[in-house]
Structure 1
Amino acid sequence: MSEAKRQLRTDMRRLRAAIADRLHRSAALGGLVVDSFGPSGVAGLHVLAFVGVGGEPDTTGLLDSLWQGGALVYLPRVIGDHMVAVRHDRGDPLEVGAYGIPAPIGEACDPTVIDAVVVPGLAFTLDGCRLGQGGGYYDRFLPLVRSDCVTVGVCFREQIVDSIPNEDHDRNMSRVICDGVSQ
């Protein structure tokens, strides 16, 4: 990993921790994500989302918007050094998973059933480059989904940067949505 990438992670963690009014600003993101799929919305789509932790956007509204829109929702679960997608319905219990992240209980699905992945990150560019936490879980998972799977980066507008040092294994997002800018 490059020193530039390491420094950007440090800077973005500090910046993200200082973002105020996180809950209020997160509320609109769910509708923006669903709207980004056009008139047909997310009805019938298999969507891997995430439970926001730490400084990430609160995804309660996002998950509600996906369920209300008729999506089949999956959440990530870390097993060893890999991430899997597990089906999650409204009201299903979550348990504390790796890194203290709430994780679904159940069997992993075949990644090729996933139509869209909503991805967290420390930083994004408007053309879809992503800087993750550094564990590589999404970088290892995304090559397993179909080539037509839509990837949606979700963040706060302060997390949009001009450039991110890219490596061969990094995968660009199909679109980036935040509170204030979407591309």
Structure 2
Amino acid sequence: METRKQIRERLKQKRDSLSQAQVQQWSAEICKNIEAHPWFVQAETVCFYYPLGKEADLRPLAETAWSMGKKTAFPRVAGREMQFYQADSFTEFAEGSFHVMEPVGTTVIYQEDALVLTPGLGFDWQGARIGYGGGYYDRYFAGRPHKYKLGVAYAMQLVERLHPKEHDVRMDGVAAETGIMIVR
């Protein structure tokens, strides 16, 4: 059986081998799938992430959310903790921890009914997530009962079983270019 480290490395290599054209195409399809889903349509607040490397790029969806008048937020890391901060345009970002673009604003956003779009290196059919190993999202979700936690990945990053640890927070669904899988 593969270790978590081996799974993480294998999935990262698969994702990193994508062409930029494939990333753009699949990202556009993922954005379209999320935009049409009731969780997004009904959400007043949507928490995004700024793509790192060849992660699915949801920036066009954030622009759609802004045009719809939705409150949007992006993560910022301080030490071992992560919070979501309001952002109203992509001019409000600067390079932060781990070379990820982070919002520069000071308004922390936390709403229990927010839709949180969550990146990951992989997800399984039960909603388990494997990230980069820092535990930022798991710590963020601990004690925060968000209404919807939607993992975001390419279909090739979906695996049958990840064997999550006790502290790993499961997603309520996973969005890919092939559609949205609800797991709760």
Give the alignment's TM-score, normalised by structure 2.
0.88
Q: Which amino acid aligns with 2:168?
A: D
Alpha carbons of structure 1 residues 91 and 148: separation in structure 2 relative to 1, 3 Å:
closer
Paired residues of 1:34 and 1:69 also in contact (CA < 8 A): no
The offset of 1:114, in angstroms, is: 5.6
**Equivalent of residue 165 in structure 2, options 157, 164, 167:** 167
Runs of 4+ in 1 over 6 A off after TM superposition: none
Alignment of 1:25-40 (within 5 A): 25-37=26-38
CA-based RMSD of the aligned residues comes to 2.0
SS of 1:30's equivalent in the other structure is helix
Matching of residue 24 in structure 1 with residue 22 in structure 2: no
Q: Deviations over 1:133-171 (max 9, x none)?
A: 1000000001242x2520000111110111102101101
The offset of 1:48, in angstroms, is: 1.0
Alignment of 1:9-158 (within 5 A): 9-20=8-19, 21-37=22-38, 41-42=41-42, 45-109=44-108, 111-112=110-111, 115-145=114-144, 147-158=145-156
19-28 or 164-173, larger mean C-alpha shift: 19-28
SS of 1:27's equivalent in the other structure is helix
Give percent identity, aligned residues only.
26
In structure 2, stretches of 5+ residues that fail to align are none
The offset of 1:32, in angstroms, is: 1.3
Give the alignment's TM-score, normalised by structure 1.
0.89
Q: Distance in 2 between matches of 1:62 and 1:118?
A: 11
Q: Which amino acid aligns with 2:41?
A: G
Q: Which amino acid aligns with 2:88?
A: D
Alpha carbons of structure 1 residues 114 and 135: separation in structure 2 relative to 1, 3 Å:
farther
Alpha carbons of structure 1 residues 114 and 53: separation in structure 2 relative to 1, 3 Å:
farther
Paired residues of 2:48 and 2:72 also in contact (CA < 8 A): yes
The offset of 1:90, in angstroms, is: 2.2
Alpha carbons of structure 1 residues 108 and 88: separation in structure 2 relative to 1, 3 Å:
same
SS of 2:174's equivalent in the other structure is strand
